[in-house]
Amino acid sequence: MDLELAGKSVIVTGGASNIGRAITLGFAREGANITLADLDAEQADKVAVEARQLGAAAIQVVPTDVTDIEQVQRMVTTAQSSYGDVDVLINNVGWDQLMFFMQTSPDFWRKVVEINFIGMLNCTHTVLERMVKTGGAIVSISSDASRQGEPKEAVYGAMKAGINSFMKTIARENGRYGVRCNVVCPGVTIPEGDDEIGVNSMWVDKDNMFTEEQLTRIAGGLPLKKLGRPRDVTGAVLFLSSQAAAGYITGQVLSVSGGYSMIG
Ligand SMILES: NC(=O)c1ccc[n+]([C@@H]2O[C@H](COP(=O)([O-])OP(=O)(O)OC[C@H]3O[C@@H](n4cnc5c(N)ncnc54)[C@H](O)[C@@H]3O)[C@@H](O)[C@H]2O)c1
């Protein structure tokens, strides 16, 4: 089916690496106008080249730290002046380092809260100021760590659970304005190669995330018996972004994790 995303104005945060990169390239294939907001301009520029080759109507890289509300406001203004009202916001930025809670420090907690939660608030609040007049869709990338209680992801999982709850409230508050808000929860989703990630990616030092042995064990425990790849997440995000496909869906949390979470 035609998702009718061609020509739409879409913001993807953290679109330079891994899952965000795949989402950006997914919107490119649909012919969208894309604003790629990422800390890493160099990696984002590479993704922009690929996106143009794949059929993006247009794409601009706006170097942005989503934890800084003023930078976010400038990024959203740039998106609006280049491509018109924002139709779709993808809150994709996230970050963690795997450690037991008792190995972490207050500085680490604050960093996890800022990147995973405050950044999402900054982008959602800024975009909604105008989106309540025009309608649109917001998809936030959470994690199955929000649903399962993952060891070594205590504060991160809590922030992702916060995203799930926040998005349900925002869905209820803004449905009357034609704004749909949904959440996608990936499971372990690893890049296909080093060219798919930039210097700020959590996956730069893969062994710091999971050893090969752990990855094999995780895959074996999943109903679908394989780890996620970034492109596995793209379809769900495009679907929920599409008014044509998902126009009657809001306030939902969808796991894309090979069956790791099954929430009825
Ligand atoms: N990969 C996984 O296994 C997995 C699993 C569950 C959930 N997730 C979630 O999916 C999303 C994407 O994960 P990923 O693995 O692709 O991440 P990643 O670390 O590979 O990439 C994150 C991107 O965000 C950018 N970024 C980081 N901090 C930023 C900031 N303050 N402002 C702007 N840009 C910033 C980085 O430069 C990078 O391009 C995150 O929200 C993550 O929590 C990932």
The answer to the question of residue 144 being in a domain is yes
The answer to the question of residue 157 being in a domain is yes
pTM comes to: 0.98
CATH number at residue 136: 3.40.50.720
Give the total number of structural domains in the chain: 1
The answer to the question of residue 1 being in a domain is no
The answer to the question of residue 4 being in a domain is no
The answer to the question of residue 2 being in a domain is no
- Cα 123 to Cα 77, 118, 129, 139, 229: the distances in Å are 12, 9, 10, 11, 26
The answer to the question of residue 37 being in a domain is yes
- 153 within ligand 1 shell (Cβ under 6 A): no
Q: What is the pLDDT of residue 264?
A: 82
**Catalytic annotation present for 156:** yes
**Residue-number span of the structural domain to which 77 is assigned:** 9-256
Q: How far is the CA of 166 from the centre of ligand 1 (A)?
A: 19
Residue to mutate, 75, 91, 93, 116, ligand 1, most ligand atoms under 8 Å from C-beta: 93
Burial class (CB in 10 A: 0-12, 13-18, 19+), 66: buried
Q: What is the pLDDT of residue 56?
A: 98
- 188 within ligand 1 shell (Cβ under 6 A): yes
The answer to the question of residue 238 being in a domain is yes
pLDDT averaged per 10 residues, the chain (length 264): 98 98 98 98 98 98 98 98 98 97 98 98 98 98 96 98 98 98 98 95 87 95 98 98 98 98 92
The answer to the question of residue 263 being in a domain is no
